[in-house]
Amino acid sequence: MNTLSYILLCMLVRKPCSGYELKQYLTLFWESHHSQIYTALGKLHEQGYVTVENDATHKQKKIYHLTETGKAIVAEWLVEENKAPSQRDEFLAKVYVIALMDHQQATELLQDRLQHYRKMVKKYEQKTEEYDAITDTIEKERNLGRYLILERRLIMCTAEVEWCVWAQSTIDQLNTN
């Protein structure tokens, strides 16, 4: 059992999902490719942690349900100590050598990033609004975890935007002096 498998089981706690759907939700906090998800789901099925249901309307679609054994190992995993989050961001390696770029190149680097994260902020603002619009208490509680993560994403993207603006003003000042 690798981390991805535990995460998939976690997500099935909220509701039964297809692999495709899991992929969408996952991108909020865990990079992965469909090839990895489908093979992981296959193994989880073999191991009896999930059951598979063929969707009625979509022939190709498979809906995965968590079994009792699955629930049990998720519960065990939840209390284990967390591995430190891992991040890899090649943009920052470029920032590392920003002092050697000309002002225009440095600006381009920062402005591309800024624009990207501004879009992200808008996207996540919309998504959190969707949650706010939910009136049903049970549905709202079911989505609590997703909402907390979404809100965190929004906060982080906002922080990225603020950093970009600050970094740009910092290099601008050095340029004029």
Partner DNA sequence: GTACCCATGTAAAGAGTTACATGATTTC
Partner DNA sequence: GAAATCATGTAACTCTTTACATGGGTAC
Residues forming contacts to DNA in the complex (CB under 7 A) are 2-4, 18-21, 31-36, 38-39, 41-42, 57-62, 86, 88
Q: What is the DSSP letter of 17?
A: B
* Contact call for residue 133 and a second copy (CB under 8 A): no
Q: Can you tell me the distance from the alpha carbon of 71 to that of 81, in angstroms, rounded to the nearest whole number?
A: 18
| Residue 161: partners with Cβ closer than 8 Å, 6 or more residues away | 114, 117, 118, 121
Q: Under the criterion CB under 8 A, does residue 68 sit at the interface with a second copy?
A: no
CB of 52 to a second copy, least distance (A): 21
Give the integer Cα–Cα distance in Å for 80 and 30: 18
User: Is residue 35 involved in binding a second copy (CB under 8 A)?
Assistant: no
CB nearer DNA, residue 42 or residue 48: 42
Given the complex with a second copy, which of 63 and 117 has the nearer CB atom? Answer: 117
Q: Which stretch binds a second copy (CB under 8 A): 33-41, 44-52, 81-89, 126-134?
A: 81-89
Residue 38: closest CA among 13, 15, 60: 60
- For the bound state, the minimum distance from the C-beta of residue 60 to a second copy, rounded and expressed in Å, comes to 26
Q: Which does 146 bind (CB under 5 to 8 A by kind): a second copy, DNA, none?
A: a second copy
Q: Which is nearer to DNA, 45 or 142 (CB)?
A: 45
* Residue selected from 14, 61, 62, 127 as contacting a second copy according to rule CB under 8 A: 14
CB-based contacts of 114, cutoff 8 Å, min separation 6 = 161, 164, 165, 168
Kindly list the distances between the CA atom of residue 8 and the CA atoms of 3, 5, 15, 20, 59, in Å, as whole numbers in the listed order: 9, 5, 11, 12, 22
